[in-house]
Amino acid sequence: MAKANRNQAYPFLGEAIPPASKRVIELEAAKLYTHSPLSIPIEIINGAFAGPVLMVNAAIHGDELNGVEIVRQLINTIDPNKLRGTLITVPIVNVFGFIHKSRYLPDRRDLNRCFPGSEKGSLASRMAHTFFSQVALNCDYIIDLHTGAIHRTNLPQIRADLSNPETLRIAQAFATPVILDSPLRNGSLRSEAEKAGITVLTYEAGEALRFEPIAINAGIVGVKRVMQAVGMLRPSRKKTPSSVIAKSTSWQRAEADGILRTVVSLGDKVEKGQTLAYINSPLGNVEVEITANKGGIVIGQQTLPLVNEGDAIFHLAYFRQSDDMVEQVVGDFIEEVIETDLEPLTTGQIMPPSPA
């Protein structure tokens, strides 16, 4: 790397964080009924050398825990003396939802549909406004960490607007096996930040209310690869793994009510007409076979074995490349993540998908 300039103190919420230092700052987001303040904890790591500003945030949906652990471990591995630029880490954005183990705010609003918010709006709108105006708009890059919803799990994947060349570049640097060219959705942090000229990736992996080692390890490694790609960390000599961009995706839905028995796992290649699951009546005298409408790769699925007709149960991605090649990319990715030497996890572990 070229010789870097020394960094300056980073101004944030009325404070100045000196170069080569860390500081925890509380952003008051709202007040409880008791008039007690409810704050969003933010740790700023200001590097010794000049560089871009990156925010890594999690738990915009309060029940999405994998990202919280990714941020915690990331903080513990970044040395401000070797960092270029400034890292803003926000492990819990939706503190209300996190306290109640809920995706939503107390008014049942989805915080990730309320950006950029309003200082005179609803609770959700005010929180979105405070976070967006005082934190997000200070950034050059944002990595927004998510999981699947309750009772749904996702293969590690990046969702981004790939029409932006810089977004495509850092999405490939993150190196999840699958990248989705995902349209911007009004009201989301990603959409509103992109409109403000900030480059944003959304990382999706795992299931709500779970700690899943593959999802967590892949997230930590991916964030560091992005930091290397934008010049915040020294580049690694390791070759960046391959990623494949999905040309489209669709959900396979339940064709009956009953008890779901799946026969495929995340990352599996499926052929058109292949059996994905069976739905049985509780007494077992009725059985409906669910088969793939098209050949593709399983990138998401329902984990709850109780379904109603019409429920989305498998998320399939389709590629221009051969599915065999994509399946190999997924397999290599899982092997690499399993071998990654990071902190051990003991709570809520899941087994990796079964090999093909």
Single-letter amino acid, residue 287: E
Please tell me the distance from the alpha carbon of residue 1 to that of residue 275, in angstroms, as a whole number: 51
State the pLDDT confidence band at 341, using cuts at 50, 70 and 90. low
Residues making up the chain, counted from first to last: 356
3-class SS of residue 341: coil
Task: Report the distance separating Cα 126 and Cα 29, nearest Å.
Answer: 8
Report pLDDT for 324.
83
Q: How far apart are CA 148 and CA 171, in angstroms?
A: 19
Q: Of all helices (H) and strands (E), which one includes residue 194? A: helix 189-195
The Cα 311–Cα 331 span in angstroms is: 28
Q: How confident is the model at residue 29 (pLDDT cuts 50, 70, 90)?
A: confident
3-state secondary structure of 250: strand
pLDDT band at 351 (very low <50, low <70, confident <90, very high): very low
How confident is the model at residue 237, as a pLDDT?
A: 85
Per residue in 243-274, pLDDT (tens digit) is 999 999 999 999 999 999 999 999 999 999 99
- Write b or e for each residue in 87-101: b if 16 or more Cβ atoms lie within 10 A of its Cβ, otherwise e: bbbbbbbbbbbbeee
Identify the band that residue 277 occupies on the pLDDT scale cut at 50, 70 and 90: very high
User: Tell me: the pLDDT tens digits for 133-147?
Assistant: 999 999 999 999 999
Residues 3-19 have a mean pLDDT of 93
Give the CA count within 13 Å in the CB-facing half-sphere of 158.
Answer: 28
Q: How buried is 328 (Cβ within 10 angstroms: 0-12 exposed, 13-18 middle, 19+ buried)? A: middle
Closest CA to 257 of 280, 277, 275, 276: 280
Which pairing describes strands 152-160 and 178-181: parallel, antiparallel, or unpaired? parallel
Under DSSP, the state recorded for 26 is: E
For residue 89, is pLDDT > 70? Answer: yes
Please check the confidence at residue 356 and state whether its pLDDT lies above 50.
no
pLDDT given at position 354: 42
Phi and psi at residue 264, in whole multiples of 5°? -130, 165
CB atoms within 10 A of CB 111: 27
In 3-state terms, what secondary structure has residue 56? Answer: strand
Token pair of 225 as six digits: 């690869």
**pLDDT tens-place string over residues 153-211:** 999 999 999 999 999 999 999 999 999 999 888 999 999 999 999 999 999 999 999 99
Structural domains of the chain in order of their starting residue, each with its CATH number = 10-244 (3.40.630.10), 252-319 (2.40.50.100)
Structure letter (DSSP) for residue 234: P
pLDDT at 352: 45
Cβ burial 234-250 (10 Å sphere, 16+ → b, else e): eeeeeeebebbbbeebe
